[in-house]
A and B are shown apart, each in its own frame.
Chain A
Amino acid sequence: MCEDCGCGDPELVSVDVHEHLLAGNNRLAEHLREHFVQAGVLAINLMGSPGAGKTAVLERTASAFAEKYRLGAVSGDLATDRDGERLRRAGILAKTITTGSACHLDAKLVHDALHEVPWRELDLFFIENVGNLVCPAIYDLGQAANVVALSVTEGEDKPLKYPVIFERADLVLLTKIDLLPHLDVDMNALRDAVRRVMKAPAIIAVSAKTGEGMGEWLAWLEARRP
């Protein structure tokens, strides 16, 4: 009953919550992060557009680290296992997360997939996100670092058009630089656009095809190992 006057009207109850809308996801991500750190696994959330070259970079990374580190991955894909197959052929212990219509990975999808990957035995664990410059940006997956792959074919303005994902990146990999002789892209403008949106700009230009720049990328990874 209404406590003010006893009129019988419903009482209005207001509950102050003040928590993140993705608090459940973020709690699970923090749980994952603690496990990765305790197990000495460097977890990287690799994001980027469809066709940005995420899988190719991982293939080349696996080749370079084959004798040195154990690599694993989960790969988000709406409909196929193609990237997972490529990663496994490259020597990465990889599991595909088939998302159906979902345009991003969340912490639960990653958590559930870990049951099928011997992640505690790994040195580096890559979360290859669904190809998308929008939705993956806001989901914490328990990673140690966010990396965004941006191919030079995508145009100089993408960091300005999709600022949120670049704001949250710890590193931007400019990929496919072997194609530069065939393109009109202005690399200075591209780098400038990245610097304008990243909080702490960090850029490495690579070609998974020729290997150019891969040494810097590998060194960046090694510097972050727990």
Chain B
Amino acid sequence: MHEYSIVASLVERVGQIAADHPRAVVRRIHVRIGDRAGVERVLLQTAYDTFRARSVCEHADLAIEAVAGDELILQRVEMEVPDV
């Protein structure tokens, strides 16, 4: 099931993005998954829920937007940056 591999890449990339914002807490991740992308959205969500524990994504919801075509896109990352 390659969805786990995709989620591993996603979590790694989100970690790189969050590293630019000290003490940020990632709250929501937006992805766009095409119906011809070769990725099963339900399995992607399952894989994400498995992988997120003890990662930078632990407190982040995964918002999957279903689109037409073969898109497989990390669209946006939303983070809370604490009061400084």
Nearest CB on A from B16, distance (A): 10
- Please state if A19 and B2 are interface contacts (CB–CB under 8 Å): no
CB contact between A17 and one of B27, B74, B83 (< 8 Å): that residue: B74
Question: A2: nearest residue on chain B (CB-CB)?
Answer: B83
- Please state if A15 and B77 are interface contacts (CB–CB under 8 Å): yes
Residues 1-57 (chain B) with a chain A CB within 8 angstroms: 1-2, 5-6, 9-10, 12-13, 17, 21, 24-25, 27, 31, 36-39
Does A25 make an interface contact (CB < 8 A)?
Answer: yes
- Please state if B83 and A15 are interface contacts (CB–CB under 8 Å): no
User: Could you tell me the dominant secondary structure of chain B's interface residues?
Assistant: mixed
- Please state if A22 and B24 are interface contacts (CB–CB under 8 Å): no
Given A103-B2, A134-B38, CB of A16 within 8 Å of CB of B80 = no
Does A184 make an interface contact (CB < 8 A)?
Answer: no
Question: A19: nearest residue on chain B (CB-CB)?
Answer: B74
Residues 65-81 (chain B) with a chain A CB within 8 angstroms: 70, 72-81
**Neighbouring A residues of B78 by C-beta, 8 Å:** 12-15
Does A1 make an interface contact (CB < 8 A)?
Answer: yes
Nearest CB on B from A12, distance (A): 6
Interface residues on A, range: 20 to 34
Given A104-B2, A134-B2, A135-B1, CB of A1 within 8 Å of CB of B83 = yes
Given A25-B9, A106-B5, CB of A17 within 8 Å of CB of B75 = yes
Does A189 make an interface contact (CB < 8 A)?
Answer: no
CB contact between A13 and one of B1, B12, B21, B31 (< 8 Å): that residue: B21
Question: A137: nearest residue on chain B (CB-CB)?
Answer: B38
Residues 100-131 (chain A) with a chain B CB within 8 angstroms: 102-104, 106
- Please state if A21 and B73 are interface contacts (CB–CB under 8 Å): yes
Interface residues on B, range: 20 to 34
**Neighbouring A residues of B36 by C-beta, 8 Å:** 163-164, 167
Distance of A92 Cα from B15 Cα, bound (Å)? 41
CB contact between A21 and one of B21, B72, B79, B80 (< 8 Å): that residue: B72
Question: B18: nearest residue on chain A (CB-CB)?
Answer: A15
CB contact between B80 and one of A11, A18, A104, A137 (< 8 Å): that residue: A11
Given A12-B81, A24-B13, A134-B2; 10 other pairs, CB 8 A cutoff:
A13-B24, A13-B80, A16-B75, A16-B76, A19-B13, A20-B72, A20-B74, A21-B6, A138-B2, A165-B38
Question: Which residues in A have some Cβ–Cβ distance to B below 8 Å?
Answer: 1-2, 8-25, 102-104, 106, 134-135, 137-139, 163-165, 167
29 pairs across A/B with beta carbons < 8 Å? A1-B84, A8-B83, A10-B80, A10-B82, A11-B81, A11-B83, A14-B77, A14-B78, A14-B79, A15-B79, A16-B75, A17-B75, A17-B77, A18-B75, A18-B76, A19-B73, A21-B6, A21-B31, A21-B72, A25-B9, A103-B1, A104-B2, A137-B38, A138-B37, A138-B72, A164-B36, A164-B38, A164-B70, A167-B36
